[in-house]
Structure 1
Amino acid sequence: MPEPRIETNRTTPMRDASFRRPPPQDQADGLRRMFAASRPRFVAVASNPHVAFSGVLLERLTSAFATLGLKSIVVDASENAPEPNELAVVDLSVCIEPLSRDVAYLAARGLPLRHVDARGSSASFLQAVADALPRADVVVMHAPASDLCRLFSRRAVRPVLMAADHPTSVTHAYGAMKLLAVRNGLMSYDLLLSADPQSPRRDRIAEQLSSCADRFLGAVLRDSAVIDPASDVDDVPTAELLRLAHALLGSEDDPAEAPELRAAHPYSPVWPAAAMTRN
């Protein structure tokens, strides 16, 4: 497998003022126009320090959004994220790194806590990110469940959990679900599972998490997508991942009925070293 291309320069982050939008040419045009006329859609992804290949999961998720013709920014406020640029307290826009035509990245460890108001909400940070990159259609907020509780205390979102093919990661994913359900009343979730597609445990993990959600929290695991940690950045997103991405964006169309979408927008991101962990 070829090594991923890695961007390591954080002292002089790049800016892409254009963030160009392609002309209408496929069945995803309606979805893009819907987002062009509205505020960005926020996707809450609960980080999991027990998932070694979380960067691969984020890359695959953003590749699905890019395949649908949408531009996204990953705001990485996870436990293992890089320290934010020192200019982040002054101007977030100069700290954003464009990784491809359709994806940008912001190192944001600790930044949500800097935006906590008197009511314990960090919602102002979401608006700050949207203002810093107004052409983004999707903001992927990757952060611990405790930070997501503060960030989305005033929003109804469908959080995405992360897990891997081992029990510790699944336990942590359930803990994130429980915290979000108890503190924010969020009862609908999705799952990104890092596992070999041939693993005999892949289906059982999702079933176990879904059963615990229903029995103990009254919550629902709506959808899941298995992602091979050895997948390449040029791989076409799977049908199940495209369906999950559509569901997160509130689209009722089935991407499986429009396979030409997958080739409509070539996707070749360059992920920062700390975000793309391939051991």
Structure 2
Amino acid sequence: MASFDFDQAEGLRRMLQGPRPRIVTFLSATPEDDKGAMLVNLGASLAQLGNDVLIVDACERDYGVARRLGLSRAASLASVARQECGLNQVLHPVPQGFSVATLGAPQRGGPAAGVETRRLAKTFDVLVKQAGIVIVDGELGPDGEFPLPLMASSEIVVQVGTSAVSITNAYALIKRLAQQLGRRPFGILVTGATEAEAKVVYDNMSTAATRYLAVNLSSMGSVPADEYLHRAARLGRAVVDAFPLAGASVAFRRLAGRFALHAMPGMSRG
């Protein structure tokens, strides 16, 4: 009874607070360019379904979405946190139908570092409340942690390929996350794979994660290898726009439909 009463109180509290923004942080165990290409096409597919999509590039080392779209020199959220510009100056609509913002790096070391990180976290909180779906192009920092706490508490999806190296790296990444964040679900998106290949990759990873880490994985789907992805990229367009009948376009539309409707099991819906 006590547990039931607690659940009721928690449910009422969430209703009074209003809907939470849908935030999904993507990490990758694939070559650096794969994640950026995937996120551009996923963002475009979600936008075609009528979603308000914001992609936040939180990469310092990897080849992030902002750099891919030529926005890496634009003002960042860190600039807003330092009161160097306004929030509207860091939101950049792109032709693919979504908006892009760059997180930027807070100052590290010294007494001001903690203050700046807290300001950046507050700026990010304000930003995500203005968007429908927030996709974070993420990476772990040198300390193995996310740059902001809200990313750690968001839905987390790991992109993996079919190679043994990619699968091994993805499993090691999930193990690292589980050790830091505790038991919680993680999504798996398999790219460069047929549906049959993706099922084998996911099943093997899910079995190992359940047995050795006590972690539940959730399949987010798959995207096949497709030459039209590269052709669309050379045109500066999303594949779903440039080549709507391509196999990758079909996969991204299916992925976007599932993504927009469902949060991962165990995570809050936005």
**Which residue is equivalent to 1:85?**
74
Q: 1:165 to 1:109 in 2, by over 3 A?
A: farther
Report if aligned partners of 2:187, 2:218 keep a CA contact under 8 Å in 1. yes
- Whether 1:175 aligns to 2:172 is yes
Determine which structure has more spread, i.e. the larger CA radius of gyration: 2
Q: For residue 53 of structure 1, what is the amino acid of its counterpart? A: D
Counterpart of 1:56?
Answer: 37
Q: 1:154 to 1:80 in 2, by over 3 A?
A: closer
- 2:28–2:160: 8 Å Cα contact kept in structure 1? no
Aligned pairs (5 A) from 1:122-271: 125-132=120-127, 135-146=130-141, 149-152=146-149, 156-197=153-194, 201-230=197-226, 231=229, 232-234=239-241, 235-236=249-250, 237-248=252-263
Q: Is the 8 A contact 2:220 2:259 kept in 1?
A: yes
Structure having the larger proportion of residues in helix: 2
Distance in 1, Cα, partners of 2:108 & 2:96: 30
1: distance between equivalents of 2:129 and 2:155? 22
8 A Cα contact 1:40 1:139, kept in partner: yes
Confirm or deny: 8 A CA contact 1:163 1:169 kept in the other structure.
yes
Aligned residue pair count = 214
What residue identity is the alignment partner of 1:74? I
Rounded Cα–Cα distance in structure 1 between residues aligned with 2:185 and 2:148: 17
Residue 85 of structure 1 aligns to a residue whose secondary structure is coil
Q: CA deviation at 1:218?
A: 0.7
Offset at residue 84 of structure 1 (A): 5.0
Most deviating of 107-116 and 51-60:
107-116
Q: Quick check: 1:44 aligned with 2:51?
A: no
- Structure 2 residue runs of 5 or longer lacking an equivalent are 1-14, 230-238, 242-248
Matching residue's letter, 1:216: Y
Q: Cα–Cα, structure 1 residues 154 and 227, in superposed 2: closer, same or farther, change >3 Å?
A: closer
Describe the shift of the 1:150–1:184 C-alpha distance in structure 2 as closer, same or farther (beyond 3 A). Answer: farther
User: Does the residue aligned with 1:201 lie in a helix, a strand or coil?
Assistant: helix
Shift in alpha-carbon separation, 1:153–1:127, aligned structure 2, 3 A: closer
> Cα distance 1:49–1:123, how it changes in 2: closer, same or farther (>3 A)?
farther
1:154 and 1:225, CA in 2 relative to 1: closer, same or farther beyond 3 A? closer
Rounded to whole Å, the distance in 2 between the matches of 1:247 and 1:216 is 27
TM-score by length of 2: 0.64
Q: CA deviation at 1:138?
A: 1.7
The two structures have a TM-score, normalised by structure 1, of 0.62
Once residues 112 and 226 of structure 1 are traced to their aligned partners in structure 2, the CA distance between those partners, rounded to angstroms, is: 38
- Which of 90, 93, 99 is 1:98 aligned to? 93
**RMSD of aligned Cα (Å):** 3.6
Which whole-Å CA distance do the structure 1 matches of 2:200 and 2:160 have between them?
A: 12
> Once the 2 structures are TM-superposed, how far is the Cα of residue 226 of structure 1 from its aligned partner?
0.7
What are structure 1's unaligned runs of at least 5 residues?
A: 1-33, 253-279
Q: Percent identity?
A: 19
Structure 2: distance between partners of 1:85 and 1:244 = 29
SS at match of 2:136: strand
